Chains A and B, each alone.
Chain A
């Protein structure tokens, strides 16, 4: 029986238990003079019985799936020949895999060796036993639980307390998923990163200026050791982010100012959603747009500038070389993507500036733009800075645009017309496809992930603090 059928049985059993409980509570109510003399509503008795059926059965399935393989492993190990037990963990794991394969019918026992036959036999038997025993045990527990719940339905017993407590626990468990997710992220990137730093020294990673993540297949291969210096990646990420922000910040900020201070309500009602369309477009679409439309256009403009420079004898223009995967194209498109993000945060922040400040400034004879530049903008500055930091963390963590439009070459440059690569691009290229989890190449992706997580986390924490303090100032 597979897991999904078992789950269906559990759900069905729970529903049946609920309705049985409902009927039982009416039966219990009869001798005491009707439902109103029960300690609580019939639906609570029914829910209690349903929970008694559901929760223990689910626990059995969960515990069984977690412990099953560990118990079987240790039982099978005891039947292995003695020379296999003396092997180290890795080689033992290999042998054990073969035993497993033979047990399910892949490969023959002769290739493995006759001395493993008892182990294979044992494993096969245990697996068969486990497959049968789990559903049976689950159903028995479900029935037992339902029976226990059934007995608990008494006119004097207030089932609501128990049900509400269970509900509370459920709510708390759901809320704590956020904590587990954070821990999960930290644990998954941290452990692999620690493995990585055992292979590549930490300072070589942080201060290295050369990135070429090759791993030698043979020890004596030419150019055997890859180098994992993260500086070019950081430089590339920063270059693209700076280009993006230098488009998004002025445009987003000015649109927000115009919309909140000048535009009529009607114009605002039309323009704001139109700009927010940009925020709803998936990043893969921007990536496609950057790679197929903007990058060739940038290159064409660059080429015609070069020709013009050559014809007119302007040396620096004549030597202009635009890469087809220039940082400029990716950065520009990313900037467009972040415009609505900057503008909506700035809009919030500007609207939070109290009207009295504006009125005071107008009263002194300032024009509207002077009020905005000298009163509102300084007052809103902390909030705007917070918003820009959030936008920067967005730009640094953005993946698809740079994967599709920026290159893979790790150039250490600040020339926006050259190809650069970013942290996220390298994470994706290192991890897409098959990997082995003991090579420095794969682990490097996790080290980059840790780096990215820490940087964005810091930016977010600072930004949220700044914005929060700013809000409190005017509340």
Chain B
């Protein structure tokens, strides 16, 4: 062997070593791309959740101002034993203003006075009136009343008051006069934060401090109820037909193609269908849970059908053969053996479909469930809105305090969704039999 070949050999070794290094580096890089992608995804999840929670957590507390109020008969112009009608006719509005002026004599000018009134929820006179209607005996006595603070007051007290913030982060829509009053109230210990029950017991309102999600939650439940009652039996029946009974022909193929395509049709199209068919052709009213439920049924059917079919497919043929061998009819085989075995899988699919329906907004906008509704719906034919639509409506609202409410409503919606999805996972793990 000559030196030259030896040299070239070492060259080749060198080259080989370099190439190996390069290839290993490429391998490392590639793995890092994967890790970075996953990290990006997880970071998005975390950021989304922390962002929503940090924005919304404040809405679960509400500021109250404890004020001692004398229910003076003369100021209210009410006699010894007033009837309910008389109480309703009494001017609680002016009574409330007078009481406030007496409590806070520093309000001198007209402007200061109106700023003083604006620190309390505009519903306070009404609440005082209801107190008197409930217990007329408080007339003529002094009572400690927890007054609901107005949303600007509430936001300022929760986020800005007593914190050393630079001008940019200061959230304040209060005037200097209002801030001075607030300072006095806090010093006297009259201001307190409590768990916000209003948010869970009220329906929508124009006033952020009085707006709640009860109406939307009831609307969502009613809508989902309609969806569940319609979609579960229909989807299970379809899945059974396609898996067990359908002859192999063009009609069956056509049904399958339709189901697969419907699963990928954008949801807003289902809204157009609902608007044109249910509302224009059948003349059903707008904004009701019944129509919402019908639209969501059509939208979730493909999801439930597809998962129910795979649940039926997972039941081994031996079960069917055994039943048929024992003399059961085809229908008996399916109803007594295949269906019970496939039920957990079908239920899982249904819950996932329901979770999808619960979060859906766009088709419900089309059928008019965006109306501003202050009453809690009592049935499936009352005007209603649903939780996601409520979120959409609030997010559009210019009032700053609604940002907090929106995030809180999102937290409630996500909680429901997490519960439903965990239930589905649990059901799959717990009940599904492995063959």
Contacts and interface: CB of A to CB of B under 8 A. Distances in A.
B41 A255 contact: yes
Interface size class of B (residues with CB under 8 A): 35 or more
Contact of A369 (B30, B55, B358): B30
Contact of B261 (A255, A339, A457): A457
Query: Secondary structure at chain A's binding surface: helix, strand, loop or mixed?
Result: helix
Given A179-B254, A285-B391, A396-B266, A258 B35 contact: yes
Interface in B354-399: 355, 358-362, 365-366, 368, 370, 388-389, 391-392, 395-396
B234 A174 contact: yes
Interface stretch (B92-100, B125-133, B144-152, B240-248): B240-248
Interface string B260-286: 111011111111110111001000000
14 contacts: A168-B245, A185-B265, A189-B273, A254-B34, A278-B48, A281-B359, A288-B391, A288-B406, A369-B31, A396-B266, A403-B362, A404-B396, A431-B366, A453-B266
Interface in A267-283: 271, 274-275, 277-278, 280-283
A340 B29 CA distance: 23
Contacts of B365: 428, 431-432
Given A283-B362, A428-B366, A160 B51 contact: no
Contacts of B34: 254-255, 257-259, 262
A171 B42 CA distance: 44
B41 A174 contact: no
Interface in B209-248: 233-234, 237-238, 240-242, 245-246
Interface string A284-301: 110111011100000000
Contacts of B35: 258
A361 to B, nearest CB: 13
A251 B268 contact: no
A289 B52 contact: yes
A239 to B, nearest CB: 18
A449 interface: yes
A318 B413 CA distance: 43
Contacts of A255: 34, 37-38, 41
A428 B362 CA distance: 8
Interface string A239-277: 000000000001111110111001000000001001101
A79 to B, nearest CB: 24
A262 B268 CA distance: 39
A179 B258 contact: yes
A446 interface: yes
A252 B44 CA distance: 13
B410 A288 contact: yes
Contacts of B122: none
Interface of A: 160, 164, 167-168, 170-172, 174-179, 181-182, 184-185, 187-189, 191-192, 250-255, 257-259, 262, 271, 274-275, 277-278, 280-285, 287-289, 291-293, 336, 339-340, 343, 367-370, 372-373, 390, 393-394, 396-400, 403-404, 424, 427-428, 431-432, 437, 445-446, 449, 452-453, 456-457, 460-461, 464
Interface of B: 23-24, 26-27, 29-31, 33-38, 40-42, 44-45, 48, 51-52, 55, 233-234, 237-238, 240-242, 245-246, 254-255, 258-262, 264-273, 275-277, 280, 298, 301-302, 305, 329-331, 355, 358-362, 365-366, 368, 370, 388-389, 391-392, 395-396, 403, 406-407, 410, 413-414, 417, 421
- Identify whether the interface residues of B are mostly helix, strand, loop, or mixed: helix
B45 A282 contact: no
A289 B26 contact: no
Nearest to B51: A293
A274 B361 contact: no
Given A282-B417, A397-B266, A185 B395 contact: no
Contacts of A399: 266-268, 361-362
B361 A282 contact: yes
B366 A456 contact: no
B48 A184 contact: no
Contact of A393 (B264, B272, B355): B264
B38 A464 contact: no
Contacts of A178: 238, 255, 258-259, 262, 301-302, 305
Contacts of B421: 280
A287 B268 contact: no
B355 A280 contact: yes
Contact of A452 (B259, B268, B355): B268
Identify the 7 closest CB pairs spanning chains A and B, nearest first.
A397-B266, A258-B34, A282-B359, A188-B276, A369-B30, A174-B237, A254-B37
Contacts of A174: 233-234, 237-238, 241
B273 A181 contact: yes
B107 to A, nearest CB: 36
B65 to A, nearest CB: 29
Contact of A271 (B38, B233, B298, B359): B38
Nearest to B236: A174
A323 to B, nearest CB: 18
B23 A185 contact: no
B269 A185 contact: yes
Contacts of A167: 331
Contact of A287 (B33, B254, B305, B392): B392
Contact of B27 (A181, A277, A278, A367): A367
Nearest to B299: A181
Nearest to B305: A178
Given A336-B44, A457-B265, A445 B272 contact: yes
Given A280-B421, A427-B272, A175 B266 contact: no
Contacts of A189: 269, 272-273, 276
A390 B264 CA distance: 8
B255 A176 contact: yes
Contacts of B265: 185, 397, 453, 456-457, 460
A460 B359 contact: no
A251 B42 CA distance: 11
